[in-house]
């Protein structure tokens, strides 16, 4: 693989929206090198030795937090996990004060997940530590979009020109927004599909196509990315029932048979078997759901390496 | 050094490697990216010609093991390592173009250990320019080139730069 002349300048990863295509490719190239580390006898390198990473998860998460924790550990950083109910936020401390306390403990990197959009951007302005956005409200989840792009590029050899359909709960999904920004920057043709209440036409302003016709959405897709219904974010009922959603938009065997023969199935997890995806489809050879998990580790190692590089410890 | 001098140096080093390693069936070559990689392939070919068989050759990117990551303004680009064989129990000949402070070789030995446990590691360099900062010493040297700290030694190789040449610049 050729080395890019490009140099990384950012200390934070707040979202995909502000990244250039060059920056995205640089992260993906770096992740390819870190993916190799996971395949070695000794799956650990000393790149972040002496650095401290704090996982500040104000919203619950298992897979993203575990992935960041493993990524940091494999780079030899020290990791501390803070969850919402174990933090002083429940005692009335503000997010700003929590962050300043972490800074006083000499944290080098703060990985934050927060229910409020913009929380990582706010923190990046008040602390010196690197801020990595691990999901802010329904705004962005940049490392998920990067690992999706990494997986697409690894499997399909390119991203530009591919038809990518994102299916499901777009309205409340930070994964969808980050993916839309990333894929359109790299030249993919993005189609959003799902119930009209969850996939409003206003998303066309982001440069993608919106359809509410499931058959049409999956027919020409090279990649189908299924999103979970975010019950926890929906303030009112957006569709009559789970059963009806599954009947209208679930990826079952019959619909799967009508996709392109090399169409790839993706899902950021956790999957709801029998709701947005049938078990047979989730487990088939064209499903890359577990490879996404493996690639997530490599992408997060790359992001931690790049964002903490160059600053004296 | 011109192309002919580089070729002669590598040929001599290949013979020294064969003489110094009676258990020739366990020799593998690993080059440090970028310039060490083509040199490792050339040395492996020459040693292979003497022994009458092909020798495994890999390439190592040492960026993740560098000790100056905190001192740099921006993070250096990391590349891929390619070691398509098990190094455990092997005699690994590490190959680089210029031996200077020894820090790259320290990083390379650490990284190599992540892939397995070699029986021994030998060091072959095209140019030894002195000024070691670590207790590291080459086993096979193409040319000893006394330099001052302010000089730059630039190695060009045909595989990367379209010509074979070693020059000292002020």
The residue behind tokens 């707040």 is A14
Instruction: Please tell me whether residues A120 and A166 are part of one structural domain.
Output: no
Same domain for A267 and A153? yes
Nearest to A129 by CA among A59, A53, A66, A189: A53
Q: How many residues does chain A have?
A: 313
Q: Give the domain ranges of chain B.
A: 3-67+81-169
Rg (CA), chain A: 19
Are A195 and A239 spatial neighbours (Cβ–Cβ below 8 Å)? yes
pLDDT at A234: 61
Regarding whether A237 and A200 lie in a shared domain, the answer is yes
Angle between helices A142-156 and A174-185 (to 10 degrees): 50
Residue A150 lies in a domain: yes
Question: For residue A7, is it within any domain?
Answer: no
Q: Compute the nearest-CA separation of A25 from chain B (Å).
A: 12
pLDDT for position A207: 95
For position A85, what pLDDT does the model report? 76
Q: Which residue does chain B place closest to A23, by CA atoms?
A: B77
Q: Report CB contact under 8 Å: A33, B73.
A: no
Q: Indicate if A105 and A147 belong to the same structural domain.
A: no
Provide CB contacts within 8 A for B101, sequence distance 6+. Answer: B131, B132, B133, B134
A88–chain B nearest CA distance, Å: 32
Tell me, yes or no, whether A42 lies in a domain: yes
Tell whether A156 and A246 lie within a shared domain. Answer: yes
Considering only the beta carbons, identify the residue of A47, A310, A311 that sits closest to B64: A47
Judged by a CB distance cut-off of 8 A, whether residue B110 touches chain A is yes
The pLDDT value given to residue B23:
75
Residue labelled with tokens 């931690």: A304
- Residues A281 and A147 both lie in one domain: yes
Task: Tell me, yes or no, whether A16 lies in a domain.
Answer: no
User: Is the Cβ of B79 closer than 8 Å to some Cβ of chain A?
Assistant: yes
pTM: 0.92
Closest CA to A213 of A251, A238, A249: A249
CA distance B76 to chain A (A): 7
Query: Could A47 and B110 be called an inter-chain contact, meaning their C-beta atoms sit closer than 8 Å?
Result: no
Encode burial over B121-150: b for 16+ CB neighbours within 10 A, e otherwise: bbbbbbbbbeebeeeeebbbbbeebebeee
Same domain, A150 and A220: yes
Cross-chain residue pair A6–B114, CB shorter than 8 Å = no
> How many domains in chain A?
2
Does A13 fall in a domain? no
φ, ψ for residue B114, nearest 5 deg = -70, -20
Quick check: B124 and B13 in contact, CB under 8 A?
Answer: yes
Residue A81 forms part of a structural domain: yes
Instruction: Print the domain residue range for A262.
Output: 142-289
Distance, CA of A77 to CA of A47 (rounded, Å): 8
Chain B's closest residue to A75, CA to CA, is B64
- Determine phi and psi for A183, rounding to 5 degrees: -65, -40
- Taking 70 as the pLDDT cut, the residues of chain B under it are none
Residues A266 and A284 in one domain: yes
Q: How many CB pairs under 8 A join A and B?
A: 72
Report DSSP state, residue A140: B
Whether A167 and A273 share a structural domain: yes
Low-confidence ranges of chain A (pLDDT < 70): 1-5, 232-236, 310-313
What is the reported pLDDT for A1?
41
Model ipTM value: 0.85
CA atoms of A191 and A171, how far apart (whole Å): 14
Q: Are residues A45 and A69 in the same domain?
A: yes
DSSP 3-state helix, strand, coil percentages of chain B (rounded to 5)? 35, 25, 40
Is any Cβ of chain B less than 8 angstroms from the Cβ of A39? no
B98, two tokens = 């210029």
Strand partners, B152: B169
Please give the Cα distance from A227 to A172 (Å, whole number). Answer: 10
User: Tokens for A96?
Assistant: 């700003």
**Does A90 contact B at CB distance below 8 Å?**
no
The domain made up of B3-67+81-169 has a fold known as Rossmann fold (3.40.50)
Q: CATH code at A124?
A: 3.40.50.1370
Are residue A228 and residue A243 in the same domain, yes or no? yes
Chain A from 48 to 67: CB within 8 A of any B CB: 50
3-state secondary structure of A165: strand
User: B33, B63, B77: which to substitute to probe chain A, counting the most A Cβ within 10 Å?
Assistant: B77
Rg, chain B, Cα only: 15
Both structure tokens of A271: 């999957």
- What is the C-alpha separation between B146 and B150, in angstroms, rounded? 12
> Do A146 and A129 sit in the same domain of this protein?
no
Tell me how crowded residue A92 is: count the other CB atoms within 10 A of its CB.
7
């Amino acid at each position: 693989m050729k080395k890019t002349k490009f140099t990384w300048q950012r200390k934070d990863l707040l979202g995909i929206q502000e990244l250039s295509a060059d920056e995205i490719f640089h992260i993906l190239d770096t992740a390819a090198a870190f993916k190799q580390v996971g395949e070695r006898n000794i799956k650990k390198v000393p790149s972040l030795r002496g650095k401290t990473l704090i996982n500040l998860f104000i919203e619950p998460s298992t897979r993203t937090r575990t992935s960041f924790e493993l990524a940091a550990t494999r780079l030899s950083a020290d990791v501390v996990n803070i969850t919402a109910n174990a933090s002083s936020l429940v005692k009335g401390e503000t997010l700003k004060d929590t962050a300043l306390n972490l800074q006083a403990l000499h944290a080098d990197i703060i990985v934050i997940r927060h229910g409020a959009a913009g929380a990582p951007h706010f923190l990046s302005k008040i602390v010196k530590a690197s801020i990595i956005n691990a999901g802010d409200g329904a705004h962005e989840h940049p490392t998920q979009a990067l690992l999706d792009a990494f997986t697409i590029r690894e499997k399909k050899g390119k991203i530009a020109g591919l038809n990518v359909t994102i299916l499901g709960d777009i309205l409340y999904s930070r994964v969808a927004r980050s993916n839309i920004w990333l894929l359109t920057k790299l030249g993919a043709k993005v189609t959003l599909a799902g119930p009209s209440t969850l996939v409003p036409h206003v998303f066309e302003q982001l440069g993608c196509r919106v359809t509410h016709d499931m058959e049409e959405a999956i027919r020409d897709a090279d990649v189908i990315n299924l999103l979970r219904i975010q019950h926890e974010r929906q303030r009112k009922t957006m569709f009559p029932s789970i059963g009806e959603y599954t009947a209208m938009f679930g990826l079952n065997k019959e619909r799967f048979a009508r996709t392109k023969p090399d169409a790839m199935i993706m899902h950021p997890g956790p999957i709801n078997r029998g709701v947005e995806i049938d078990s047979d489809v989730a487990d088939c050879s064209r499903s890359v759901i577990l490879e996404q998990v493996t690639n997530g580790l490599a992408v997060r190692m790359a992001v931690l390496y790049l964002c903490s590089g160059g600053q004296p410890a | 050094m011109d192309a002919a001098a580089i070729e002669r140096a590598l040929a001599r080093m290949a013979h020294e490697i064969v003489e110094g390693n009676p258990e020739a069936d366990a020799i593998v070559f690993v080059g440090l990216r970028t310039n060490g990689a083509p040199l490792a392939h050339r040395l492996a070919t020459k040693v292979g010609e003497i022994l009458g068989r092909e020798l495994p050759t890999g390439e190592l990117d040492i960026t993740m093991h560098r000790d100056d990551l905190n001192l740099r303004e921006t993070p250096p680009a990391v590349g891929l390592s390619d070691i398509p064989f098990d190094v455990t129990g092997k005699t690994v000949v590490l190959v680089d173009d210029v031996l200077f402070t020894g820090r790259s070789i320290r990083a390379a030995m650490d990284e190599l250990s992540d892939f397995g446990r070699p029986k021994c590691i030998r060091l072959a360099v095209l140019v030894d320019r002195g000024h070691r900062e670590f207790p590291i010493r080459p086993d096979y040297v193409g040319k000893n080139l006394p330099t001052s700290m302010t000089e730059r030694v630039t190695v060009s190789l045909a595989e990367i730069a379209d010509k074979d040449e070693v020059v000292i610049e002020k």
